[in-house]
Chain A
């Protein structure tokens, strides 16, 4: 079954690429090989430099693939493996890839300007502000969610905690080798990979860093975020980001091969129930809440930013856009497919491994195997309970992944640690970069305070204060929020999907008014855009009404505040969209 799904996924995506993708390229983008891209026209070898499309694909994929495509599906499997897989396949096909590809190409047509800028041009200036506010909310929430996710995993696995910490040391050393010595690049890279493997090995052979206390882990992460975000990039962030790509490719390739070789059947329930307890141990209707769980992997607003941030400035030819933008997203879908596959095949084995603890929690493991509905009710608890100790959704993934890699002859402990390092390396990197960005965004957002009080503004705009505030916000949400990382992740995903909404609406807007697309082709963009908007709106209302009341009292106010603001802005957004759709906007035409 693993082989079937893995290969099936690959086939599905490849077919999609050559049919749906090509059709988009021809009918919507109207890609012209002879029309020079900004990388060629505005070339300065600094920002604008045409890159080989394979290289660019690698960059783009490494940028969009973080911990998201792993975490989301790992939470979503409580609905059963099939619903999660269907969303990863079809959500990707009908919305995600269109979103990524169109954002990339629209940006290319606008001299590589960000999708935020394009949205402002096409749908009015306040769309830009809505965008920025969503981004800030998303950043605060992702800091909280990821702190929770890493904390939950690390508190139950000294191995992964040790490996992650040692990996940071390895990254610092790699940074010194790469940037401060004249050692040949290939040699430094080999040493870097070797040090990474060493961290893994030491991690499971001698897990000396053992911190089971969740609160302590939150504090440590808090300090880490502030410290890391203050360092010059070459110390830790850059070399770690570099080594991360090796881990990523290693994980994807090993995972794919293992899935085929393992040839294992799925023991995980195909489908548990429509309203399984997926988010916050509360009944979550698959529609509309699935986008609040599986974001990246099916659709992620942040991809549009990445695509229009660097990739669009490095596209060598319009025809390469399909491979990079569309293909990149498909690849991420493939990654999520592998995640679901490994859990579907080995998840139950993981449960069996802690059968006694599950029994102590008064949960009937045997019944979980036969009664799908029951599974949907207790699955969340099994995965996240501190006493059972699987380590949350990431723990479920890493353990399943370890078992799957074992089919290649890789010792389970190694595979599990590898999976854990993979997820946590990306989580910790995201915490670092997000804090940097949140710091900047915060400084922008408090500008108006200058008019009221220069002293206060000076204090708030100080980079240390801005940095600590962003981290503290996230810390508060997770530490005082009862470690409800699924709720915070859902909040983040909500903001993320709203960003995707803006990008989709912008793309639809661009397609209609600039590219003059109509009929069935336009419908292929417009319908998903509208569907997405409706789904996310409904999901957020559900979140407000159902999830927020069950979160810890201390954070309820802030979360509710975020969601209400997001909802109001969302309505404004759709008004902007429809208003601008009709206009004969002269500025909408891209500069040639």
Chain B
């Protein structure tokens, strides 16, 4: 077995360092990107939820669009309905969720 020279060992260490530096910046980048859109994300979810509620109101006896309209767009609302279902499951904790997003300190 060939023993690696000092130079090769140094190179490897440098490589490892650069790798972890890259990882750090990537994580930093991702983190900052999430930071810069977290509120918008929450707002988007709310709109998607309301959209689903408005459209599927017919199932809950809530004023809803004419059935024809509902029939036409229902096939495309998989995402919105799943958000609505998820929201409904968490309805007893909406305040907690909102508070968690808009922090006060």
Q: Do chains A and B touch in the complex (CB under 8 A)?
A: yes
- Chain A residue numbers with a CB within 8 Å of B102 are 433-434, 436-437
- Tell me whether B40 is interfacial, beta carbon within 8 Å: yes
B31 near A58: Cβ-Cβ < 8 Å: yes
A241 to B93 Cα, complex, angstroms: 24
A436 to B76 Cα, complex, angstroms: 32
A502 to B9 Cα, complex, angstroms: 56
Minimum CB–CB distance from A330 to chain B (whole Å) comes to 16
Describe B's contact surface by its main secondary structure: helix
Contact digits for B60-83, partner A, Cβ 8 Å, 1 yes 0 no? 000000000000000000000011
A309 near B97: Cβ-Cβ < 8 Å: yes
- Tell me whether B2 is interfacial, beta carbon within 8 Å: no
Minimum CB–CB distance from A299 to chain B (whole Å) comes to 12
- Tell me whether A477 is interfacial, beta carbon within 8 Å: no
B100 near A234: Cβ-Cβ < 8 Å: no
A59 near B35: Cβ-Cβ < 8 Å: yes
Contact digits for B28-59, partner A, Cβ 8 Å, 1 yes 0 no? 11111111111111110100000000000000
Closest to A143 in B: B104
Q: Contact partner of B93 among A55, A64, A114, A433, CB < 8 A?
A: A114
Minimum CB–CB distance from B105 to chain A (whole Å) comes to 3
B100 near A114: Cβ-Cβ < 8 Å: yes
- Chain B residue numbers with a CB within 8 Å of A52 are 27, 30-31
Minimum CB–CB distance from B82 to chain A (whole Å) comes to 8
Closest to B90 in A: A113
A296 to B36 Cα, complex, angstroms: 24
- Chain A residue numbers with a CB within 8 Å of B30 are 52, 55
Describe A's contact surface by its main secondary structure: helix
A83 to B71 Cα, complex, angstroms: 68
Closest to B40 in A: A234
- Tell me whether B1 is interfacial, beta carbon within 8 Å: no
B104 near A185: Cβ-Cβ < 8 Å: no
B45 near A46: Cβ-Cβ < 8 Å: yes
**Beyond A54-B27, A185-B29, A242-B32, is A303–B40 a contact (Cβ under 8 Å)?**
no
B104 near A433: Cβ-Cβ < 8 Å: yes
Closest to B24 in A: A54
Contact digits for A474-491, partner B, Cβ 8 Å, 1 yes 0 no? 000000000000000000
- Tell me whether A555 is interfacial, beta carbon within 8 Å: no
A232 near B43: Cβ-Cβ < 8 Å: yes
A110 to B82 Cα, complex, angstroms: 21
**Beyond A55-B31, A238-B36, is A113–B105 a contact (Cβ under 8 Å)?**
no
Closest to A492 in B: B104
Please choose the segment from A13-21, A65-73, A284-292, A363-371 that sits at the chain B interface, where 4 or more of its residues have CB less than 8 A away.
A65-73
Residues in chain A within 8 A of chain B (CB atoms): 44, 46-47, 51-52, 54-55, 58-59, 62-69, 113-117, 132, 135, 138-139, 142, 178-179, 185-186, 189, 232-234, 237-239, 241-242, 245, 296, 300, 302-303, 305-311, 426, 430, 433-434, 436-437, 440-441, 444
What would be 15 A-B contacts, judged by CB atoms less than 8 Å apart?
A55-B28, A114-B93, A114-B95, A116-B95, A185-B33, A233-B40, A237-B39, A238-B39, A296-B105, A302-B99, A302-B105, A306-B100, A309-B101, A434-B102, A437-B98
A-B pairs, top 8 by smallest CB distance, nearest first, are: A309-B100, A114-B96, A66-B105, A55-B31, A433-B102, A242-B36, A233-B39, A63-B103
